[in-house]
């Protein structure tokens, strides 16, 4: 019996080509895995930043509610043109005397137009490295001050650690005397 064994000089190096293709495939799988992990880390960071801004905006709403509930707050008189505190428009003339700013314009949220949160809530939001977000701000607009109640609309805005992350919350709040 004769065996058909190829002599060494007739081999064409196919195993080298197959090995290089396998190495290329493993490299592509590794690079893709790294890119997916990097994207997932960015998404998790953005979600955390958005959550931080949301919590800060909620704290501003709570502080504004406490401000409205203060017994010394004269909601009927002081909101005439004071920064961040807007009076009730005249229902008889349908005139908008105290227009609310464009809440989506960052320039509307400057110190002159809004109220910064006080010491109870301000700048208590930070990340693991100790970076602190800017103090949330709010605007109170009187909607109705008839009878023994006052109804206000509170709009709060907060940013995350990235200034591009912004959350704006709005609520209608009623104080009954």
Would you kindly state where each structural domain of the chain is located, as residue ranges? 14-176
- The DSSP result for 126-161, as a single string, is B-TT--BPPPPEEEEEEEE--TTEEEEEEEEEEE-S
Cβ-based neighbour number of residue 158 at 10 Å:
28
**Strand 137-144 relative to strand 85-86, pairing:** parallel
Residue 158's φ and ψ, nearest 5 degrees, are -140, 155
The reported pLDDT for the residue numbered 102 is 83
Radius of gyration of the chain (CA): 31
pTM equals 0.72
Render pLDDT for 19-73 as a digit per residue (tens, 0 to 9): 999 999 999 999 999 999 999 999 999 998 899 889 989 999 998 888 888 876 5
Asked if residue 91 has pLDDT above 70, the reply is: no
């Amino acid at each position: 019996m004769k065996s058909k064994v190829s002599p060494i000089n007739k081999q064409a190096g196919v195993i080298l080509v197959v090995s290089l293709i396998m190495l290329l495939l493993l490299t592509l799988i590794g690079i893709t895995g790294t890119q997916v992990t990097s994207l997932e880390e960015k998404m998790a960071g953005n979600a955390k930043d958005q959550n931080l801004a949301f919590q800060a905006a909620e704290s501003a709403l709570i502080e504004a509610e406490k401000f409205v509930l203060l017994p010394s707050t004269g909601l009927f008189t002081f909101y005439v043109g004071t920064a961040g505190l807007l009076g009730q428009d005249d229902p008889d003339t349908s005139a908008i005397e105290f227009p609310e700013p464009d809440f989506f314009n960052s320039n509307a949220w400057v110190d002159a137009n809004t109220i910064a949160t006080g010491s109870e809530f301000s700048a208590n939001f930070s990340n693991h490295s100790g970076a602190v977000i800017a103090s949330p701000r709010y605007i109170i607009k009187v909607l109705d001050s008839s009878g023994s109640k006052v109804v206000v609309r509170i709009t709060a805005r907060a940013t995350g650690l990235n200034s591009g992350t912004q959350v704006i919350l709005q609520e209608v709040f009623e104080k009954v005397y």
